[in-house]
Amino acid sequence: MLRQASRLLTRSIATTQQPIRVMGARPMSTNLPATPVEDSAFLESWKKVAPNIDPPKTPSAFMKPRPPTPSTIPSKITVNFVLPYASELTSKEVDMVIIPATTGQMGVLPGHVPTIAELKPGVLSVHEGNDVKKYFLTSGFVFVHANSVADIVVVEAVPVDHIDQNLVQKGLADFTQKLSSATTELEKAEAQIGIDVHSALNSALVG
Least confident interval from 2-16, 35-49, 79-93, 154-168: 2-16
> Quick check: 92 and 6 in contact, CB under 8 A?
no
Question: Which residue, among 154, 137, 145, has the nearest Cα to 100 in the 3D structure?
Answer: 137
Question: Which residue, among 55, 61, 43, has the nearest Cα to 2 in the 3D structure?
Answer: 55
Q: What is the pLDDT of residue 132?
A: 93
| CA dist list (Å): 35 to 31, 60, 144, 199 | 12, 9, 19, 46
DSSP reduced 3-state for 145 = coil
Say whether pLDDT at 43 is over 70. Answer: yes
Compute the half-sphere exposure of residue 107: CA atoms within 13 Å on the CB side of its CA: 4
pLDDT for 110-130, tens place per residue? Answer: 999 999 999 999 999 999 999
182-190 average pLDDT score: 93
Question: Which residue, among 187, 190, 137, 127, has the nearest Cα to 163 in the 3D structure?
Answer: 137
- Other beta carbons less than 10 A from residue 85's beta carbon: 6
Q: What is the pLDDT of residue 33?
A: 54
The top-level CATH class assigned to 73-161 is: mainly beta
The larger pLDDT score, comparing residue 64 to residue 45, is at 45
Q: pLDDT band for 31, please (50, 70, 90 cuts).
A: low
Question: Which residue, among 140, 159, 135, 160, has the nearest Cα to 151 in the 3D structure?
Answer: 140
Say whether pLDDT at 35 is over 50. Answer: yes
Q: What is the pLDDT of residue 51?
A: 86
pTM above 0.85, yes or no: no
Q: What is the pLDDT of residue 181?
A: 92
d(CA 149, CA 151) in angstroms, rounded, equals 7
> Quick check: 46 and 11 in contact, CB under 8 A?
no
Q: What is the pLDDT of residue 40?
A: 79
| CA dist list (Å): 28 to 21, 113, 147, 191 | 16, 10, 14, 41
Contact partners, residue 171, CB within 8 Å, separation at least 6: 194, 198, 201
**Domain segments of the chain as ranges:** 73-161, 163-206
